[in-house]
Structure 1
Amino acid sequence: MTAPSSSESPWPVRTVARKVADWIGRLGEVWVEGQVAQLSRRSGAATVFLTLRDPAADLSVPVTCHRDVAERPGLELTEGARVIVRARPDYYVARGSFSLRATEIRAVGLGELLARIERIRRLLGAEGLFDPARKRPLPFAPATVGLITGRDSAAERDVLVTARRRWPAVRFTTHHCVVQGPNAAANVIDGLRRLDADPAVEVIVLARGGGSVEDLLPFSDEGLVRAIAACRTPVVTAVGHETDTTLVDHVADVRAATPTDAAHRIVPEIGEQRRLVDGLRARARHLVSTRLEQQVRWLESVRTRPALADPERLLHGREDDVLALRSRARRTLTHRVESAEQDLEHARARVAALSPAATLERGYAVVQRADGSLVRDPAEVADDEPLRVRVAGGRLPVRVDRSTDQEDPA
């Protein structure tokens, strides 16, 4: 028994490879379901090589079997066929590769295919991918439409011709891919991602003509359904005929019965839109005309009213009132002016009576020192002090002389 590995005593590559091979060899036989992606039958060789692909995941495993197993009567083994393989896992130590060694291969019947599709439908439905709330409305008259379809197919022709006839201004960005076989789902997913990343594309159409359940099987691929659900651009599916239903129809924003029906859904009909515009224009013209007629009638009714029909009639009765008011205003103003004039005369007389100038006119005088201060008492001035005397007629300079007072007789 080999000792446990450690950093001090690691296992060599051959030991690890033998242990992996021993462990895989103990698994025994298993039943595996998948899709034949590649098939190689060499002339004269006893071994047939094929690649078994998982339709729901991007992985595959090589399978080898005896020619008798691959060419069993009743088995049509072709690329793209769904099969169930009874095989034993095998690990080739020299190359470090894993493969399956098949001892029995069975073709998946129609009933099994439908049952598988139903299981996927329930799984995706439980995740909410088919919820109507997820579906987005299509844009009106998109400028650019992305189209995923087979090259030179009838579906491509139906979509392009019908859409351009209905709306000549529409442009298409077309992604050609295989729409049948083991690589169809991967090609369609690649086209979806390319068109969804194009900011000019406003809606994507996935179109394919009719076919059998096996032919339409790629359009029930789980990976393709999830890719459509992840698209930011609205997706319209037109796969098969009206009676054909695939899983992409459930997840698409709009499901069209046929490629022609898809063209009808993505663009409007230009003649119908013109008729609609003409109808709206006629309706608007009628509404505006009706409104104008109503306003004209209203204006006519307003003009017939006395106030607007003969506006001078309103002035005739007001002329006497205006004259009376003007006379009254004139009398009132004259009275107030006269009263103010009398008050002013009285005030002027009182001012004149109280004025110092009136006192001087009566013979009085005002005596001032040189600095302008008034002299009220003889004792306030000194002898020989210059003074100024103001009388009614003007000013006189004087000088104090007390000697004259002494010579006056008692």
Structure 2
Amino acid sequence: MTSFQPETVPGQAPPADSVHPRDSRTDAPTSVSRLNDTIRGFIERWGSVWVEGEITSFNRRGGNVFGRLKDLGTESTVAFRIWSSTLARLPKDLKVGDHVVACVKADYFPRTGDFSFAISAMRHVGLGEQLERLERLRVQLRSEGLFDPVRKKKLPFLPHCIGLITGENSDAEKDVHRNAELRWPRVRFRTQHAAVQGDRCVPETIAALKILDADPDVDVIVIARGGGDPQTLLGFSDERLLRAVAAASTPV
């Protein structure tokens, strides 16, 4: 059987779809479609894998689940999906924070270039390490009296100046302004911007808290951010930040 290649004009690059990624050059690039098809062909040769991790995101959409599984010892995560037909066979109480073992098979969507793992089986191992760590911290701080109602500082009925800690140019900042001004048009804000997730979140939020707590005009402090999965919200359960809030002289 004779194989016909697309005709090329001398001096011109061949059609990108005809160039295999391994043969691509600066003057003969491959196409995005050919690249994605090649990647999918490689990934489809992988078999199923049993993997252990912690569920950090578990969102139900249209009967299916889209989530993330986190490594127990590092911050590495992978995206997963569970089709409704598979979900019906899994434990009904799967949730964020669960320590699980799952059978996964890699899948790659050539149209969008998205990579995830399809789950065919999943079972509990125990309470996720992250959830265990937070529960231990909660017990420790409660035993120290940090959550006692007598420690709570009275909120002002109509604060004249609100200290706001939030992400720069965030929807959370706009929402706090909008709702506060609807209730008390004369309210003023002293705003300190800080990272609301990641490694910078805790130190920047604590630094902003100290600045606003030292300002005699600030009647109350609000620390705000929008929604997010539990993994991105971890900074707000950090022991350093919790102790800084407890030590503040201004209501938070």
When normalised by structure 2's length, the TM-score is: 0.51
Q: Name the counterpart of 1:230.
A: 247
1:131-182: per-residue Cα shift (whole Å, max 9, x none)?
A: 0110011112111100001111111111101111221111000111110012
Question: Structure 1 residues 196 and 223, CA, compared in 2 at 3 Å: closer, same or farther?
Answer: same
Q: Distance in 2 between matches of 1:190 and 1:212?
A: 24
Q: Which has the higher strand share?
A: 2
1:193 aligns with 2:210: yes
Task: Compute the displacement of 1:83 (Å).
Answer: 5.8
Q: Name the counterpart of 2:178.
A: 161
How do 1:135-174 and structure 2 match up within 5 A? 135-174=152-191
SS in structure 2 at match of 1:189? helix
The answer to whether the 8 Å contact 1:144/1:202 transfers is: yes
How do 1:45-194 and structure 2 match up within 5 A? 84=73, 110=97, 111-194=128-211
Q: Distance in 1 between matches of 2:76 and 2:52?
A: 7
Q: Distance in 2 between matches of 1:82 and 1:172?
A: 41
Q: Distance in 2 between matches of 1:209 and 1:175?
A: 16
**Deviating runs (4+, > 6 A) in structure 1?**
73-76
Q: Which has the higher helix share?
A: 1
Figure out how many residues of one structure are paired with residues of the other and give that number.
Answer: 139
The answer to whether the 8 Å contact 1:75/1:106 transfers is: no
* Partner AA of 1:197 in structure 2: A
How do 1:217-256 and structure 2 match up within 5 A? 217-235=234-252
Q: Distance in 1 between matches of 2:189 and 2:163?
A: 6
* Partner AA of 1:182 in structure 2: D
* Partner AA of 2:225 in structure 1: R
How do 1:194-213 and structure 2 match up within 5 A? 194-213=211-230
Question: Structure 1 residues 157 and 75, CA, compared in 2 at 3 Å: closer, same or farther?
Answer: farther
Name the % identity.
52
1:2-54: per-residue Cα shift (whole Å, max 9, x none)?
A: xxxxxxxxxxxxxxxxxxxxxxxxxxxxxxxxxxxxxxxxxxxxxxxxxxxxx
SS in structure 2 at match of 1:173? strand
Q: Distance in 2 between matches of 1:118 and 1:125?
A: 10
Unaligned runs of 5+ in 2: 1-49, 54-69, 78-95, 98-127
Question: Structure 1 residues 184 and 215, CA, compared in 2 at 3 Å: closer, same or farther?
Answer: same
Q: Distance in 2 between matches of 1:174 and 1:83?
A: 37
Q: Which has the higher contact order (CA 8 A, sep 6+)?
A: 2
Q: Distance in 2 between matches of 1:113 and 1:205?
A: 26
Q: Name the counterpart of 1:293.
A: none
Unaligned runs of 5+ in 1: 1-72, 85-104, 236-410
Q: Distance in 1 between matches of 2:176 and 2:75?
A: 39
Question: Structure 1 residues 155 and 106, CA, compared in 2 at 3 Å: closer, same or farther?
Answer: closer
Pair member with larger Rg: 1
Task: Compute the displacement of 1:74 (Å).
Answer: 6.9
Q: Distance in 2 between matches of 1:106 and 1:161?
A: 36
The answer to whether the 8 Å contact 2:172/2:224 transfers is: yes
Q: Distance in 1 between matches of 2:51 and 2:76?
A: 9
1:37-76: per-residue Cα shift (whole Å, max 9, x none)?
A: xxxxxxxxxxxxxxxxxxxxxxxxxxxxxxxxxxxx9799
When normalised by structure 1's length, the TM-score is: 0.32
